[in-house]
Amino acid sequence: MTATVIDGQAVAERLRAEIAADAADFQAQYGYPPGLGVVLVGDDPASASYVRMKRRACEQAGIHSVAHLLPKESTQEEVEAAVEALNNDPGIHGILVQLPLPAHISEERVLGLVSLDKDVDGFHPINIGLLAMKGREPLFTPATPTGCMVLLQEAGAQLEGANAVVVGRSNIVGMPVALMLMKANATVTICHSRTRNMKDIIAQADVLVAAIGKPAFIKGDWLKPGAIVIDVGTNKVDDPSQPRGYRYVGDVDYESALEVAGAITKVPGGVGPMTITMLMLNTMKAARRLAQTITL
Ligand code: GUN
């Protein structure tokens, strides 16, 4: 069997065209564009690159963006002041605090300060709490997990009653995607660094979400034949055959998984482009909610 490739890039491009049309409608209706505010603390090159990509994608879709780029030695008060400024800015509808923050900054306090109405990253503890509770819905769900869910839908995954295995338990991906799969009525197992019989658990997975940050860790012969595999990993590995000397691989060994899985995402070109797209979608949702509240 050769798996169907789930083309995240194509899905993202389709959705971005819809978002751009919606942003243009918004601008025509209200006379101002939807706005995203970004807080980046420090000079981590990967974070700076993510922030540039997010801002560029927003601008291309007609979403205005404002960035607070703070030095790494900024104080807790300075970071909180940047969030407060965006909370109070009527031209900003969504706020993104790029993670990780430097070690001396309390992430918990900063994320808790983001206005619930503008929490387009879905990391406010109230939104995460609502995601975890039965019969409740958060205002926004985190971007990467939401992108995973959209790709599962694209692949035709039947989640109701399915065995879904999430590998990784981070606050950004593993934990929220597990909660979203549970909301979709899957039977969810979370594996992590202390899990004993990971191969046996993965062998039962109708749906597998891999988010551990270990290059090509999960091998094709671990998978249940026909499984739908979403690979969130983006791991830089040396490759002298590439002009840059490196390439990116996922957490799943793509070549061997292709022979066993029913459907699989590529790295790059799978979950990555969806993350930014979900942030843009959340920003549009926030802008529409806030604009309606003001008009009423
Ligand atoms: N760092 C890595 N992924 C993310 C994300 O989705 N949102 C934010 N804010 N920071 C991140």
Q: What is the tens place of the pLDDT at every residue in 180-223?
A: 999 999 999 999 999 999 999 999 999 999 999 999 999 999 99
Domain hosting 117: range is 31-122
Q: Which of 83, 110, 121, 281 is the pocket-test mutation for ligand 1 (most atoms within 8 Å of CB)?
A: 121
Give percent of the chain above pLDDT 90: 98
* Whole-model pTM over 0.75: yes
Q: Are residues 238 and 194 in the same domain?
A: yes
Tokens of 257: 């998984």
Q: Are residues 158 and 241 in the same domain?
A: yes
Is there a domain that residue 157 lies in?
Answer: yes
Which pLDDT score, from 0 to 100, does residue 295 have?
59
Q: Are residues 173 and 267 in the same domain?
A: yes
Q: Are residues 210 and 261 in the same domain?
A: yes
Which pLDDT score, from 0 to 100, does residue 293 have?
85
Is there a domain that residue 129 lies in?
Answer: no
**CB contact at 8 A, 205 and 227:** yes
Kindly report whether the peptide bond that precedes residue 100 is cis, defined as omega within 30 degrees of 0: yes
Q: Are residues 266 and 148 in the same domain?
A: yes
CA of 212 to the centre of ligand 1 (A): 15
Q: Are residues 154 and 224 in the same domain?
A: yes
Q: Are residues 108 and 187 in the same domain?
A: no
Q: Is the CB of 99 under 6 A from ligand 1?
A: yes
Is there a domain that residue 243 lies in?
Answer: yes
Q: Is the pLDDT assigned to residue 257 strictly greater than 80?
A: yes
Number of domains in the chain: 2
Report the pLDDT averaged over residues 126-132.
98
Report the DSSP beta bridge partners of residue 249. 235
Q: Which of 97, 123, 144 is the pocket-test mutation for ligand 1 (most atoms within 8 Å of CB)?
A: 144
Q: Are residues 60 and 154 in the same domain?
A: no
Is there a domain that residue 6 lies in?
Answer: no
Residue with tokens 């990555």: 272
The CATH number that applies at residue 117 is: 3.40.50.10860
The span from the CA of 74 to the CA of 68, in Å, is: 12
CA of 142 to the centre of ligand 1 (A): 9
Q: Are residues 147 and 241 in the same domain?
A: yes
Q: Is the CB of 48 under 6 A from ligand 1?
A: no
